[in-house]
Amino acid sequence: MSAEKTNLLYHSVCLEQDLCKGCTTCIRLCPTQAIRVQNGKAKIIRERCIDCGECVRRCPYHAKKVVSDGFDALSQYKYNIALVAPAFCGQFSKATDINVILTGLKKTGFDDVFEVARGAEVITQKTREILAEKKNDKPIISSACPAVVRLIAVRFPSLSENVIPLTSPMEVAAQMARKEAREKTGLSDSEIGTFFISPCPAKVTAVKQPLALQKSDVSGVISVKDVYIRLAHTLSGMTEVEKLSVAGRDGVRWARSGGEAEALGIKNYIAVDGIHNVIKILEELEDEKLKNIDYIEALACVSGCTGGPLNVENEFIANSRIRNITEDMENAQVKADEDISLFWDKKVDYQPFSPLDSDMGEAMRKMALLEEIYQRLPQLDCGSCGSPTCREFAEDIVRGKAQEKDCIFRLREKIEMLAKEITEISKMINE
Amino acid sequence: MAENSVKLHYNVDASDFTVAGQASGAVKKVLKQLGFSADVIRRVAVAMYECEINMVIHADGGEIDVEITPEKIRMIHKDRGPGIKDIEKAMQEGYSTADEKVRELGFGAGMGLPNMKRYTDEMNISTELEKGTVVDMTVLVK
Half-sphere exposure of A354 (CA within 13 A, CB side): 9
> Is residue B8 within a helix (H) or strand (E), and if so which, with residue range?
strand B6-12
**Residue B25 belongs to what domain range?**
2-140
Cβ contacts of residue A320 below 8 Å, gap of 6+?
none
* Number of domains present in the structure of chain B: 1
Task: Choose the mutation target among A360, A372, A399 for the interface with B, i.e. most B CBs under 10 Å.
Answer: A360
Closest partner residue to A287 (CB to CB) among B4, B35, B46 is B46
Half-sphere exposure of B5 (CA within 13 A, CB side): 13
Q: Looking at this predicted complex, what is its ipTM?
A: 0.80
Size of interface A-B (CB pairs under 8 A): 60
Mean pLDDT across A245-274: 96
Residue B87 pLDDT:
83
What is the rounded end-to-end Cα distance, in angstroms, of chain A?
Answer: 65
Domains, chain A, ordered by start: 1-67 (3.30.70.20), 71-137+156-264+306-327 (3.40.50), 360-431 (1.10.15.40)
Question: With 50 as the cut, is the pLDDT of residue A2 above it?
Answer: no
**CB-based contact (8 Å) between B35 and chain A?**
yes
What span, in angstroms and rounded, lies between the C-alpha atoms of A249 and A236?
27
Length of chain A in residues, anyone? 431
Question: With 50 as the cut, is the pLDDT of residue B60 above it?
Answer: yes
Cα-based torsion angle of the residue sequence B75, B79, B83, B88 in order, rounded to the nearest 10 degrees: -10
Indicate which CATH number applies to the domain containing B47.
3.30.565.10
Cα three-residue angle A263-A269-A270, rounded to 5 degrees: 105
A353 chain-B contacts, CB cut-off 8 A: 32-33
Percent of chain B topping pLDDT 90? 49
Yes or no: say if A55 and A26 are a contact pair by the CB < 8 Å rule: yes
Residue A328 pLDDT:
86
| pLDDT, tens digit (0-9, with 9 covering 90-100), for A280-306 | 999 999 988 898 999 999 999 999 999
**CB-based contact (8 Å) between B3 and chain A?**
yes
Residue B15 pLDDT:
67
Residue of B nearest to A283 (CA): B25
What span, in angstroms and rounded, lies between the C-alpha atoms of B113 and B135?
10
Q: How is the beta sheet containing A79-84 ordered, strand by strand?
A: A112-115, A79-84, A192-198, A220-223
Residue B88 pLDDT:
83
Contact map slice: B 14-33 vs A, CB within 8 A: 24-25, 28, 30, 32-33
Half-sphere exposure of A178 (CA within 13 A, CB side): 23
Task: Choose the mutation target among A287, A288, A292, A354 for the interface with B, i.e. most B CBs under 10 Å.
Answer: A287
B32 chain-A contacts, CB cut-off 8 A: 352-353, 355
Convert chain A into a string of H (helix), E (strand) and C (coil).
Answer: CCCCHHHHCCCCEEECCCCCCCCCHHHHHCCCCCEEEECCEEEECCCCCCCCCHHHHHCCCCCEEECCECHHHHHHCCEEEEEECHHHHHCCCCCCCHHHHHHHHHHCCCCEEEEHHHHHHHHHHHHHHHHHHCCCCCCEECCCCHHHHHHHHHHCHHHHHHECCECCHHHHHHHHHHHHHHHHHCCCHHHEEEEEEECCHHHHHHHHCCCCCCCCCCCEEEEHHHHHHHHHHHHHCCCCCCCCCCCCHHHHHHHCCCHHHHHHCCCCEEEEECHHHHHHHHHHHHCCCCCCCCEEEEECCCCCHHHCCCCCCCHHHHHHHHHHHHHCCCCCCCCCCCCCCCECCCCCCCCCCCCCCCCHHHHHHHHHHHHHHHHHCCCCCCCCCCCCCHHHHHHHHHCCCCCHHHCHHHHHHHHHHHHHHHHHHHHHHHC
Length of chain B in residues, anyone? 142
Q: Supply the mean pLDDT for chain A.
A: 93
Yes or no: say if A176 and A335 are a contact pair by the CB < 8 Å rule: no
Yes or no: say if B51 and B9 are a contact pair by the CB < 8 Å rule: no
Residue B76 pLDDT:
96
Question: With 50 as the cut, is the pLDDT of residue A147 above it?
Answer: yes
Cβ distance B34 to A287 less than 8 Å, yes or no, reads no
Cα-based torsion angle of the residue sequence A87, A168, A181, A245 in order, rounded to the nearest 10 degrees: -30
| pLDDT bracket for residue B1 (50, 70, 90) | very low
Distances (CA, A) of A31 to A28, A36, A288: 8, 13, 22
**CB-based contact (8 Å) between A225 and chain B?**
no
Question: With 50 as the cut, is the pLDDT of residue A4 above it?
Answer: no
A288 chain-B contacts, CB cut-off 8 A: 42, 46
| pLDDT bracket for residue A8 (50, 70, 90) | low
Say whether B45 sits in a helix, a strand or coil: helix
Instruction: Please give, rounded to a whole number of angstroms, the shortest distance from the CA of A161 to a CA of chain B.
Output: 12
Contact map slice: B 44-73 vs A, CB within 8 A: 45-46, 49, 68-70
Q: Supply the mean pLDDT for chain B.
A: 86
| pLDDT, tens digit (0-9, with 9 covering 90-100), for A306-349 | 999 999 999 999 999 999 999 889 998 888 788 999 999 998 87
Residue A420: Cβ within 10 Å count: 10
Question: With 60 as the cut, is the pLDDT of residue A401 above it?
Answer: yes
| pLDDT, tens digit (0-9, with 9 covering 90-100), for A61-83 | 999 999 999 999 999 999 999 99
Cα three-residue angle A277-B116-A289, rounded to 5 degrees: 20
Instruction: Please give, rounded to a whole number of angstroms, the shortest distance from the CA of A352 to a CA of chain B.
Output: 9
Question: With 70 as the cut, is the pLDDT of residue B97 above it?
Answer: yes
Question: With 70 as the cut, is the pLDDT of residue A5 above it?
Answer: no
Closest partner residue to A361 (CB to CB) among B24, B41, B70 is B70
Cβ distance B3 to A367 less than 8 Å, yes or no, reads no
DSSP label of B110:
S
pLDDT higher at B13 or A199: A199
B49 chain-A contacts, CB cut-off 8 A: 287, 289
Mean pLDDT across A237-261: 94
pLDDT higher at A107 or B98: A107
pLDDT higher at B142 or A401: A401
Residue of A nearest to B141 (CA): A360
